[in-house]
Structure 1
Amino acid sequence: MTARPVVPGFHPDPSICRVGDTYWMVHSSFEYAPGVPLYRSTDLVSWEQVGHVLARPDQLDVSAAPGSGGITACTIRHSAGRFWMITTNLADGGWQTLVTAEDPLGEWSAPVRMTEVRGIDPDLAWDDEGTLLVTYAGFDADGPAGVVQQAVDPVTGAALTERRHLWQGTGGKFPEGPHLYRVGDHWYLLIAEGGTERGHAVTIARGPSPQGPWEACPHNPLLTARGTDSPVQNTGHADLVQRPDGSWAIVFHGVRPRGTSPEFHVLGRETFAAEVHWDDEGWPRLGDWLTPPEDGREVEELAGGDLPPAWVSPRRFPADVITRVEGGWQLVAADPDTGSEDLAFVGRRQEHLTCRARVVLAAGDGVGGLSVRIDARHHLDVAVAGDVVRAVAHAGPFRSLLGERTVPPGDVVLEVRAVPCEGHFSSTALAPDQLVAGVVAADGGFTELGRLDGRYVSTEVAGGMTGRLIGVWCSTGSVLVRSFSYAGRDTPGEWS
Structure 2
Amino acid sequence: MQYTNPIVKGFYPDPSICRVNEDYYIVTSSFGYYPGVPIFHSKDLVNWKKIGYCLSRESQLPLFQSHEFPKRLVGKTGIYAPTLRYHNGRFYMVTTNQAHYRNFVVWAEKPEGPWSEPLVLEWGGIDPSLLFDDDGKVYISGTSAGHGEPEGIYQAEIDLETGKLVSARKLIWEGTGGPYPEGPHLYRIGNLYYLVIAEGGTEYGHMVTVARSNHPYGPFECCPHNPVLSHRNTNLPVQATGHADLVQAHDGSWWAVCLGVRPTGYPYHHNLGRETFLVPVMWSEDGWPVFGDQGRIHLAMEAPSFFHGYVEMPVRRDRYDFDSGTLGNEWNSIRNSMEGICSLKDRPGWLALYGTEFGLDDLEAKAFVGRRQQDLICRVTTLMDFSPMKEGEEAGLTAFMNENSHYDIAVTGTNGKRLVMFRRRIGSLWKIEREDEIVSDSIILSIRADETDYRFTYTLPGGEEIEIGKGGIFYLSTEVAGGYTGVYFGMYATGNGKDFQYPAYFDYFDYQID
**Structure-1-length-normalised TM-score:** 0.91
Residue matched to 1:417: 448
Matched-pair contact (CA < 8 Å) for 2:63–2:78: yes
- Work out the CA distance in 2 between the residues paired with 1:215 and 1:456: 43
Asked if structure 1 preserves the Cα contact closer than 8 Å seen for 2:131 and 2:138, the reply is yes
Aligned with 2:285 (options 280, 283, 289): 280
Give the structure 1 partner of residue 145 of structure 2: 139
User: Offset at 1:403?
Assistant: 2.1
Q: Which runs of 5+ in 2 are unaligned?
A: 66-70, 302-308
**Post-superposition CA distance 1:290-312 (Å, at most 9, x none):** 65978353111252321111211
Aligned to 2:127, the other structure's residue is in SS state: strand
Q: Is the 8 A contact 2:409 2:456 kept in 1?
A: yes
2:487 to 468, 481, 486: 468
Count residues in correspondence. 474
Please say if residues 342 and 376 of structure 1, whose CA atoms lie closer than 8 Å, have aligned partners that are also in contact: no
Deviations 1:271-317 (A, max 9, x none): 00011111111111123556597835311125232111121111214
* Partner-residue secondary structure (3-state), 1:139: coil
Partner of 2:306: none
**1:40 matched to 2:41:** yes
> Aligned AA for 1:383?
A
Asked if the contact 2:443–2:461 (Cα under 8 Å) also holds between the matched residues in 1, the reply is no
Partner of residue 491, structure 1? none
Counterpart in the other structure of 2:93: 85
Q: Tell me if 1:326 matches 2:351.
A: no
**Conserved in 2, the CA contact under 8 Å of 1:255 and 1:268?**
yes
CA distance in 2, matches of 1:139, 1:340: 26
- Residue 257 (structure 1) shift: 1.1
Amino acid at match of 1:484: F
Report the equivalent of 1:382. Answer: 409
Compared CA separation, residues 318 and 197, structure 1 to 2 (3 A): same
Match of 1:270 among 270, 275, 288: 275
Q: Does 1:360 find its partner at 2:383?
A: yes
Cα distance in 2 between the residues matched to 1:163 and 1:322: 45
Q: Secondary structure at the match of 2:445?
A: strand
1:207–1:346 distance in 2 versus 1, CA, 3 Å: same
Deviates more, 1:287-296 or 1:313-322: 287-296
**CA contact under 8 A between 1:415 and 1:439: conserved in structure 2?**
yes
Greater mean deviation of Cα atoms: 265-274 or 281-290: 281-290
Match of 1:236 in 2: 242
Amino acid in structure 1 at the alignment position of 2:82: C
Structure 2 distance, partners of 1:25, 1:460, is 27
Given candidates 457, 471, 483, the residue that maps to 2:508 is 483
Post-superposition offset of 1:343:
3.9
- Contact persistence 2:64–2:335 (CA under 8 A): yes
Q: Deviations over 1:68-110 (max 9, x none)?
A: 21110010000011001000011124x1110111111120011
Quote the residue 1:117 is aligned against: 123
Are 1:166 and 2:167 an aligned pair?
no
Instruction: Report if the CA contact (8 A) 1:302-1:308 is conserved.
Output: no
Counterparts of 1:131 and 1:317, CA distance in 2: 39
The aligned amino acid for 2:90 is: R
- Alignment map for 1:10-21 (pairs within 5 Å): 10-21=11-22
Structure 1 stretches lacking a partner, 5+ long? 421-432, 489-494
| 1:71 paired residue among 72, 79, 92 | 79
Tell me the distance in 1 between the aligned counterparts of 2:114 and 2:365: 29
Q: Following TM superposition, by how much is the alpha carbon of 1:156 offset from its aligned partner in structure 2, in angstroms?
A: 1.3
Q: 1:340 to 1:198 in 2, by over 3 A?
A: closer
Residue of structure 1 aligned with 2:104, choices 88, 97, 101: 97
Cα deviation 1:159-206 (Å, max 9, x = unaligned): 222210011111111110000111112110000001111110001111
Specify the SS of the correspondent of 1:121. Answer: coil
| SS of match in other structure, 2:480 | helix
The structural deviation recorded for 1:408 is 3.9
Is 1:224 paired with 2:208? no
1:144 & 1:97 partners in 2: Cα distance? 23
Q: 1:4 Cα shift?
A: 2.9
> For 1:274-313, what aligned pairs fall within 5 Å after superposition?
274-287=279-292, 289=298, 295-304=314-323, 305-313=325-333
CA contact (8 A) 2:11 2:486 kept: yes
Greater fraction strand: 1
Is 1:34–1:317's contact at 8 Å kept on the other side of the alignment?
Answer: no
Distance 2:198 2:150 in 1: 14
Kept after mapping to 2: 8 A contact 1:31/1:66 = no
1:208 corresponds, among 211, 214, 232, to 214
> Contact 1:59 / 1:110 at 8 angstroms: preserved in 2?
yes
Q: Which letter maps to 1:62?
A: L
- In the other structure, the counterpart of 1:58 is 59
Q: Name the structure 1 match of 2:68.
A: none
Counterpart of 2:34, as a letter, is A
- Tell me which of 397, 411, 419 is aligned to 1:370: 397
State the 1:441 CA deviation: 4.2
Contact 1:14 1:239 (8 Å CA) reproduced: yes
DSSP 3-state at the match of 1:152:
strand
Identity of counterpart residues, as a percentage?
Answer: 41
Select the residue among 182, 198, 201 that pairs with 1:195: 201
Is the 8 Å Cα contact of residues 28 and 36 (structure 1) preserved in structure 2? yes
Q: Deviations over 1:41-94 (max 9, x none)?
A: 11111111111101111111011262221110010000011001000011124x
Give, in whole Å, the separation in 2 of the partners of 1:127 and 1:381.
51
Instruction: Normalising by structure 2, report the TM-score.
Output: 0.88
SS at match of 1:456: helix
Task: Assess, with a 3 A threshold, how the Cα gap between structure 1 residues 302 and 119 changes in structure 2: closer, same or farther.
Answer: farther
Q: Tell me the distance in 2 between the aligned counterparts of 1:233 and 1:127.
A: 34
Alignment partners' CA distance in 2, 1:2 and 1:251: 14
Distance 2:48 2:219 in 1: 37
Q: Which residue of 2 aligns with 1:395?
A: 426
The secondary structure found in structure 2 opposite 1:455 is: helix
Which residue identity lines up with residue 332 of structure 1 in the other structure?
Y
**CA RMSD in angstroms, aligned pairs only:** 2.1
Distance 1:142 1:344, change over 3 A: farther
Q: CA deviation at 1:341?
A: 5.0
Contact map agreement 1:169 1:193 (CA 8 A) in 2: yes
Q: Give the drift of 1:350.
A: 0.3
Change (3 A) 1:248 1:184: same
Contact (CA 8 Å) 1:362, 1:411: kept in 2 or not?
A: yes
The 1:437–1:480 alpha-carbon spacing in structure 2 relative to 1, beyond 3 Å, is same
Give how far 1:144 is off. Answer: 5.8
The structural deviation recorded for 1:410 is 3.5
Q: What amino acid is the match of 2:78? A: G
Structure 1 CA distance for aligned equivalents of residues 187 and 448 of structure 2 = 44
2:252 to 242, 246, 256: 246
Q: What displacement does 1:320 show? A: 3.6
